[in-house]
């Protein structure tokens, strides 16, 4: 039942109205029917956050309560789309209102006219429950879109038919009379149910050497990338969106730059997915709410994103959700909270900040779906700490829930060490649970290589402190060689050029071979030192620097074999 | 239209009016003083009981007897071709003794967000003739690249040099310039204007002036006025527009002032919690649109309070803009012009604007290598201060010398020196060629073969 009320006060995106409503009911505000959501109830007055610009709205205008929470439309046609924070398709908005986003425009998220070929996978008479697939449509060349029974619906199928349907046509009917369509709605703030949560045991392979080797993320895991501006957060997020081996990628540009979203928009359709050979866009959904778009819609955008991700998870896919940046989301909460004149917590953020953060991240996970399939949602959230200060509330609130931490470092970025991930501050708590997978699928000594590499890098840090004081020539011979090996790890393994056609993606085998080559050099160097060769001569072994070039080689096996044998030869000549 | 004499409270730039008919949010307000003076303002908060408005000209001389009129519309800028060559006040009224501008149309100054789907990706290299920008932090058409400066640094000279020299190679059209001054001194403003006059740029320039002694609240609309004019020229007249905004720090101070007057809960360092969104509404009005010829490139200038890059103003700016050009006191005191510190500087759109057919095939790799050596050299300077140069290895001494040469030959250039990009890159290679070839790990073998030791 729609109820109506009257506006009492307007202050920016916050509108107070005399209205009967429940929390999070969606309202149509004012004569222009702007979309809003009830976020506080005070006696007879409701506070509504409005997703569009409120200029010109007057007290006394009507507010209509739809009695529904904020929902997204789930069905075929989501892939390759670009939406704003409340799932309005930006391409349709452009047709409606031109090059600038104007308010009051609305368009359905899913194309109502497009027809899909539906193939039923169950017959009449079968009993289905929420989350079961009743059939499928081919959404893109690579993705088969399963049509699911909405989670809270169950019953015996009375009729079902193959054929060409729009998203709103009925494809099946239950005994109870419930109609099943290609699409259904789901409230964004409510996690979609699953049968069971599983432990993460499979890595999300990203093609980025530093992530795949030292700081892996599990499928269904959560990672955060905090970093000051200019440290390459967005480039890293985009590299992950491009190369990670998830079936579906949902990319939420939350309060970020318009030009960056455009870059994603123009680039993704042109990049081919290394696994399927089809354009990446076919597995991607973009949600763009740039920094100058309404702040309340920014608050909603991450929920919209994660709900879409959960929907594809329920079909049995592994989904990666990138949120860039969760700080903008937190700031949107702060902005609205301060308009509500709520008592602020730390740095003006609302006291419920960390609850909201953990609720959001908890929607990730490797699960058994209602239908009994194994699937996952991995979440990678960028954090933009003001002034690069990791002690601020958003970073700290995030750190409490995430398991993989990729710390971006402005200093490294300034030296053009990319990805500028600080290897001493970053960590991954998945390392142990994933070791079995790596040992079975890449190499039995994978973990050992990782441990040795980490040890060298940590030792370098200690040695550098001494070098800062006394200069590198004063170090003992053995330590000078360690510094050399550490340099090789940094430059040949950790550094990766996202803009080079070959280096942008490094398969696990290549990452492993590079590590092995450097470790082989370390072993040879140690043996040479033991037999009395001076450190100076070891650091002058020329062939070692050619490992740098392997990054840019497509046929890395042959190239590395050559480098390896040259290194062996040079060492043999040293003795 | 009704007039009200129901002002109940005046606080700083704000007036509180009671017992009004419904008033729209963001509506324009006229306030007539008994003296006959008329001031204008804007509604910040409206409810059935009370309306709060900010007064752009300040509230001095205003009493409870002033008469308030709500105009039922938002602030608009009259735009037409005639704006070019004109000098306007911070609120868009001509102050150059010229005729009134006959408007072709009125444009709302708030400006709507460009639909990300309608944007086209910026990719045209703008040659500014300044090596540290062209070579290391390339500017492209449609970008917003702020200058982070400090007090006493020559940011205005650099902005002027860019405005004078900026061109897209292979294209004859120059840039139209929209210049918005917020709270700068009349002396600084005079310098800009006489520079525009001398170079003949004034006839394709629109100037908006809010000087240090103009009302602080007016500063909040000055950049919006300027960007509205820019959008008109770029997207309706197909011109390439370069917008110079100076000084954003003054703008943010005004924002804080209003926030405090409204007794809002302050965020970091007293600045309002919505400052990020507010700044984004300004900076995001740069870019290009598919199917439209024009573009808006923004060059905002801000002075970092106490040279602190983590201060909320530069910090929030850096998160919105596509990079930043950072000036350094240290370079300035060593008499290096332009004192651009390339290490903290960045252009996020650089990769879109460089490379073969745009600049040169070696651009990316050469600049990465220059960055890497210079960063190392600067670190070594710290070390030398402790242990002396003698205890450095031979390689380290080379890098140290590289850093000094880089500053003296690459960074330093004349105020009128307009370097072609090839010249810039060649200087870079002449510096790199002082280092043994095998140490150039950021450069691919082909590029080394093509350029190393040849320039």
The verdict on A150 and A206 lying in the same domain is: no
Low-confidence ranges of chain B (pLDDT < 70): 455
- The residue with tokens 């076919």 is A282
CA distance B231 to B225: 10
Query: Is there a contact between A59 and B47 if contact means CB atoms under 8 Å apart?
Result: yes
Query: Is there a contact between A259 and B114 if contact means CB atoms under 8 Å apart?
Result: no
Low-confidence ranges of chain A (pLDDT < 70): 1-2
The CATH number of the domain where A55 resides is what?
2.40.30.20
Strands B28-32 and B38-47: antiparallel
The verdict on A212 and A152 lying in the same domain is: no
The CATH number of the domain where A163 resides is what?
2.40.50.100
Q: Which residue of B has its CA nearest to A103?
A: B112
Structural domain including A150 reads 112-182
Q: Is A388 on the interface with B (CB under 8 A)?
A: yes
Which CATH fold would you assign to the domain B363-451? 1.10.1140
Q: Is A331 on the interface with B (CB under 8 A)?
A: yes
pTM of the model: 0.88
CA distance B455 to B443: 16
Q: Check residue A467 and give left, alpha or beta (phi > 0: left; psi -120 to 50: alpha).
A: alpha
Instruction: For residue A221, give the nearest of A236, A205, A235 by alpha carbon.
Output: A205
Pair of tokens at residue A49: 């956050």
Chain B residues near residue A255 by CB distance under 8 angstroms:
276, 280
CATH, domain range B77-350:
3.40.50.12240
Burial (CB count within 10 angstroms: exposed 0-12, middle 13-18, buried 19+), residue A327: buried
Break chain B into its structural domains and give their ranges.
3-74, 77-350, 363-451
Between the alpha carbon of residue B294 and those of residues A4, B203, B230, B287, B352, the distances in Å are 46, 18, 10, 9, 18
Pair of tokens at residue B432: 């790199």
A459 within a domain of the structure (yes/no): yes
Query: Is there a contact between B116 and A335 if contact means CB atoms under 8 Å apart?
Result: no
| A57, A82, A261 ranked by CB distance to B25: nearest | A57
The verdict on A455 and A401 lying in the same domain is: no
In this structure, are residues B69 and B2 in contact, taking their beta carbons and an 8 Å threshold? Answer: yes
Q: Is residue B247 reached through a cis peptide bond, with omega within 30 degrees of 0 on the bond before it? A: yes
Q: From A37, A69, A101, give the residue that closes a domain.
A: A69
In this structure, are residues A64 and A27 in contact, taking their beta carbons and an 8 Å threshold? Answer: yes
CA distance A119 to A122: 9
Residue B177: enclosing H or E segment and its boundaries? Answer: strand B176-184
The verdict on A401 and A361 lying in the same domain is: yes
- Residues forming beta bridges with residue A497, ordered by sequence position: none
Strands B176-184 and B240-246: parallel
Q: Is A63 on the interface with B (CB under 8 A)?
A: no
Chain B residues near residue A253 by CB distance under 8 angstroms:
116
The verdict on A408 and A556 lying in the same domain is: no
Residue of B23, B115, B267 to mutate when probing chain A, most A C-beta within 10 A:
B115
- The residue with tokens 């704006």 is B83
Query: Is there a contact between B117 and A410 if contact means CB atoms under 8 Å apart?
Result: no
Number of A to B CB contacts under 8 A, please give it.
Answer: 228
In this structure, are residues A360 and A252 in contact, taking their beta carbons and an 8 Å threshold? Answer: no
Query: Is there a contact between B45 and A10 if contact means CB atoms under 8 Å apart?
Result: yes
The answer for residues whose C-beta is within 8 angstroms of residue B76's C-beta and 6 or more apart is B106, B107, B108, B109
In this structure, are residues A239 and A210 in contact, taking their beta carbons and an 8 Å threshold? Answer: no
The verdict on A203 and A310 lying in the same domain is: yes
Chain B residues near residue A60 by CB distance under 8 angstroms:
22, 48
The verdict on A347 and A421 lying in the same domain is: yes
Pair of tokens at residue B63: 């009493």
Query: Is there a contact between B267 and A348 if contact means CB atoms under 8 Å apart?
Result: yes
Chain B residues near residue A326 by CB distance under 8 angstroms:
none
A469 within a domain of the structure (yes/no): yes
| B27, B113, B273 ranked by CB distance to A101: nearest | B113
Residue of B53, B277, B279 to mutate when probing chain A, most A C-beta within 10 A:
B277
- Residues forming beta bridges with residue A42, ordered by sequence position: A45
The answer for residues whose C-beta is within 8 angstroms of residue B427's C-beta and 6 or more apart is B131, B409, B410, B419, B455
Give the number of other Cβ atoms within 10 Å of residue A224's Cβ: 25
Chain B residues near residue A8 by CB distance under 8 angstroms:
47-48
Mean pLDDT of chain A: 91
The verdict on A207 and A295 lying in the same domain is: yes
Instruction: For residue A110, give the nearest of A165, A30, A43 by alpha carbon.
Output: A165
The verdict on A247 and A311 lying in the same domain is: yes
Chain A residues near residue B441 by CB distance under 8 angstroms:
491, 545, 548
Chain A residues near residue B113 by CB distance under 8 angstroms:
100-101, 258, 290, 292-293
Query: Is there a contact between B320 and A257 if contact means CB atoms under 8 Å apart?
Result: yes
Query: Is there a contact between A292 and B277 if contact means CB atoms under 8 Å apart?
Result: yes
Provide the shortest C-alpha distance from residue B12 to chain A (in Å).
Answer: 19
The CATH number of the domain where A530 resides is what?
1.10.1140.10
Burial (CB count within 10 angstroms: exposed 0-12, middle 13-18, buried 19+), residue A229: buried
Q: From A428, A462, A480, give the residue that closes a domain.
A: A428
| A255, A257, A416 ranked by CB distance to B371: nearest | A416
| A292, A469, A472 ranked by CB distance to B386: nearest | A469
A436 within a domain of the structure (yes/no): no
Provide the shortest C-alpha distance from residue B99 to chain A (in Å).
Answer: 32
The verdict on A319 and A377 lying in the same domain is: yes
The b-or-e profile of B289-321 (16+ CB within 10 A means b, else e) is beeeebbbbbbbbbbbbebebebbbbbbbbbbb
Q: From A383, A399, A428, give the residue that closes a domain.
A: A428
CA distance A141 to A144: 8
Residue A365: strand, helix, or coil: strand
**Helix A326-339 to helix A353-361 angle, to the nearest 10 degrees?**
140
Q: Is A56 on the interface with B (CB under 8 A)?
A: yes
Pair of tokens at residue B181: 């001054």
What's the number of domains chain A is made of? 4
| A57, A91, A542 ranked by CB distance to B117: nearest | A91
Residue of B255, B273, B314, B347 to mutate when probing chain A, most A C-beta within 10 A:
B273
The b-or-e profile of B387-398 (16+ CB within 10 A means b, else e) is beeebbeeebeb
Chain B residues near residue A12 by CB distance under 8 angstroms:
25, 274
ipTM for the assembly: 0.84
A87 within a domain of the structure (yes/no): no
Instruction: For residue A258, give the nearest of B109, B226, B314, B142 by alpha carbon.
Output: B142
As its CATH architecture, domain B3-74 has Beta Barrel (2.40)
| B264, B383, B445 ranked by CB distance to A468: nearest | B383
Q: Is A484 on the interface with B (CB under 8 A)?
A: no
In this structure, are residues A375 and A316 in contact, taking their beta carbons and an 8 Å threshold? Answer: yes
The verdict on A455 and A551 lying in the same domain is: yes
Burial (CB count within 10 angstroms: exposed 0-12, middle 13-18, buried 19+), residue B234: buried
A56 within a domain of the structure (yes/no): yes
The verdict on A118 and A53 lying in the same domain is: no
Residue B22: strand, helix, or coil: coil
Residue B229: strand, helix, or coil: helix
pLDDT digits (tens, 9 = 90+) for A180-201: 999 999 999 999 999 999 999 9
Instruction: For residue A319, give the nearest of A402, A246, A371 by alpha carbon.
Output: A246
pLDDT digits (tens, 9 = 90+) for B342-354: 999 999 899 889 9
Specify the pLDDT at position A2. Answer: 62
Query: Is there a contact between A9 and B391 if contact means CB atoms under 8 Å apart?
Result: no
CA distance A387 to A384: 9
In this structure, are residues B275 and A335 in contact, taking their beta carbons and an 8 Å threshold? Answer: no
**Distance between start and end Cα atoms, chain A:** 89
């Amino acid at each position: 039942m729609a109820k109506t009320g009257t506006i009492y006060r307007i202050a920016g995106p916050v509108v107070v109205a005399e209205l009967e409503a429940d929390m999070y009911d969606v309202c149509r505000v004012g004569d222009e029917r702007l979309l809003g959501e009830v976020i506080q109830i005070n006696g007879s007055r409701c506070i509504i956050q409005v997703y569009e610009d409120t200029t010109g709205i007057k007290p006394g205008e009507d507010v209509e309560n739809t009695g529904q929470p904020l929902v997204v439309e789930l069905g075929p046609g989501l892939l390759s789309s670009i939406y704003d924070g409340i799932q309005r398709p930006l391409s349709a908005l452009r047709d409606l209102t031109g090059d600038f986003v104007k308010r009051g425009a609305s368009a359905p998220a899913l194309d109502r006219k497009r027809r899909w070929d539906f193939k039923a996978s169950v017959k009449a008479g079968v009993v289905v429950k929420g989350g079961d697939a009743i059939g499928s449509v081919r959404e893109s060349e690579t993705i088969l879109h399963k049509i699911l029974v909405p989670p809270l619906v169950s019953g015996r199928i009375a009729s079902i038919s193959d054929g060409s349907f729009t998203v709103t046509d009925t494809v099946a009917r239950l005994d109870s009379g419930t109609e099943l369509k290609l699409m259904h709605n789901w409230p964004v703030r409510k996690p979609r149910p699953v049968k069971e949560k599983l432990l993460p045991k499979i890595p999300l392979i990203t093609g980025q050497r530093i992530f795949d080797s030292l700081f892996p993320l599990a499928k269904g895991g959560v990672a955060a990338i905090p970093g000051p501006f200019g440290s390459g957060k967005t480039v890293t997020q985009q590299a992950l969106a491009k190369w990670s081996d998830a079936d579906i990628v949902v990319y939420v540009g939350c309060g970020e730059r318009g030009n960056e979203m455009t870059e994603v928009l123009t680039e993704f359709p042109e990049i081919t997915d290394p696994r399927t050979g089809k354009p990446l866009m076919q597995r991607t959904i973009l949600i763009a709410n740039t920094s100058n778009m309404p702040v309340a819609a920014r608050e909603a955008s991450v929920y919209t994103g994660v709900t879409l991700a959960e929907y594809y998870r329920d079909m049995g896919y592994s989904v990666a959700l990138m949120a860039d940046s969760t700080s903008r989301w937190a700031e949107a909460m702060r902005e609205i909270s301060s308009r509500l004149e709520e008592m602020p917590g730390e740095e003006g953020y609302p006291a419920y900040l960390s609850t909201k953060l953990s609720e959001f991240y908890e929607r990730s996970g490797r699960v058994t779906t209602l239908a009994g399939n194994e699937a996952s949602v991995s979440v990678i959230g960028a954090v933009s700490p003001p002034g690069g200060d990791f002690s601020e509330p958003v970073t700290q609130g995030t750190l409490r829930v995430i398991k993989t931490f990729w710390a971006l470092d402005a200093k490294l970025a300034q030296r053009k060490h990319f990805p500028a991930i600080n290897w001493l501050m970053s960590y991954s708590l998945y390392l142990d649970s994933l070791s079995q997978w790596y040992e079975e699928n890449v190499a039995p000594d994978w973990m050992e290589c990782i441990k040795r590499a980490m040890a060298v890098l940590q030792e370098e840090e200690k040695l550098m402190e001494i070098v800062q004081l006394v200069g590198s020539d004063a170090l003992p011979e053995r330590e000078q060689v360690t510094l050399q090996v550490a340099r090789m790890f940094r430059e040949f393994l950790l550094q990766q050029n996202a803009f080079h056609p070959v280096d942008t993606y490094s398969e696990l085998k290549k990452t492993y071979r590079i590590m092995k080559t450097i470790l082989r050099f370390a072993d040879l160097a140690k043996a040479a030192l033991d037999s009395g060769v001076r450190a100076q001569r070891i650091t002058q072994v020329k062939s070692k620097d050619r490992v740098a070039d392997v990054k840019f080689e497509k046929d890395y096996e042959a190239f590395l074999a050559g480098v390896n044998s040259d290194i062996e030869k040079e060492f043999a000549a040293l003795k | 239209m009704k007039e009200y004499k129901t002002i109940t409270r005046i606080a700083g730039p704000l007036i509180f009016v009671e017992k009004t008919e419904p008033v729209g949010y963001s509506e324009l307000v006229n306030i007539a003083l008994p003296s006959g003076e008329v001031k204008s303002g804007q509604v910040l908060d409206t409810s059935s009981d009370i309306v709060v408005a900010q007064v752009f000209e300040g509230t001095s001389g205003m009493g409870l007897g002033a008469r308030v009129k709500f105009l039922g519309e938002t602030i608009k800028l009259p735009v037409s071709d005639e704006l070019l060559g004109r000098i306007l006040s911070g609120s868009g009224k001509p102050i150059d003794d010229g005729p009134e501008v006959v408007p072709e149309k009125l444009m709302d100054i708030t400006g709507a967000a460009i639909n990300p789907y309608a944007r086209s990706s910026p990719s045209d290299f703008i040659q500014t003739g300044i090596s540290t920008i062209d070579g290391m932090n390339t500017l492209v058409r449609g970008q917003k690249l702020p200058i982070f400066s400090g007090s006493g640094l020559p940011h205005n000279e650099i902005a002027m040099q860019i405005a004078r020299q900026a061109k897209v190679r292979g294209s004859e059209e120059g840039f139209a310039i929209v210049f918005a001054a917020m709270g700068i001194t009349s002396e600084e403003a005079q310098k800009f204007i006489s520079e525009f006059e001398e170079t003949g740029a004034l006839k394709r320039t629109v100037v908006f002036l809010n000087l240090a002694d103009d009302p602080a609240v007016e500063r909040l609309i000055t950049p919006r006025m300027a960007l509205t004019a820019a959008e008109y020229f770029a997207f309706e007249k197909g011109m390439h527009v370069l917008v110079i905004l100076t000084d954003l720090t003054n703008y943010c101070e005004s924002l804080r002032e209003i926030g405090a007057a409204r007794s809002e809960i302050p965020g970091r360092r007293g600045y309002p919690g919505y400052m990020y969104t507010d700044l984004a509404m300004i900076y995001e009005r740069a870019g290009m649109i598919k199917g439209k010829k024009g573009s808006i490139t923004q060059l905002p200038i801000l002075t970092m309070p106490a040279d602190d890059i983590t201060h909320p103003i530069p910090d929030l700016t850096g998160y919105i803009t596509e990079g930043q050009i950072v000036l350094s006191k240290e370079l300035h005191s060593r008499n290096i012009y332009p004192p651009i510190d390339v290490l903290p500087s960045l252009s996020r759109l650089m990769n879109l604007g460089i490379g073969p057919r745009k600049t040169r095939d070696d651009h990316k790799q050469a600049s990465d290598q220059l960055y890497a050596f210079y960063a190392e050299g600067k670190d070594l300077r710290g070390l030398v201060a402790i242990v002396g140069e003698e205890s450095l290895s031979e390689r380290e001494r080379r890098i140290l010398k590289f850093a000094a040469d880089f500053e003296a030959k690459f960074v330093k250039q004349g105020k009128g020196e307009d370097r072609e990009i090839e010249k810039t890159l060649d200087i870079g290679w002449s510096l790199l060629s002082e280092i043994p070839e095998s140490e150039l790990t950021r450069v691919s073998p082909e590029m080394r073969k093509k350029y190393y030791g040849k320039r």
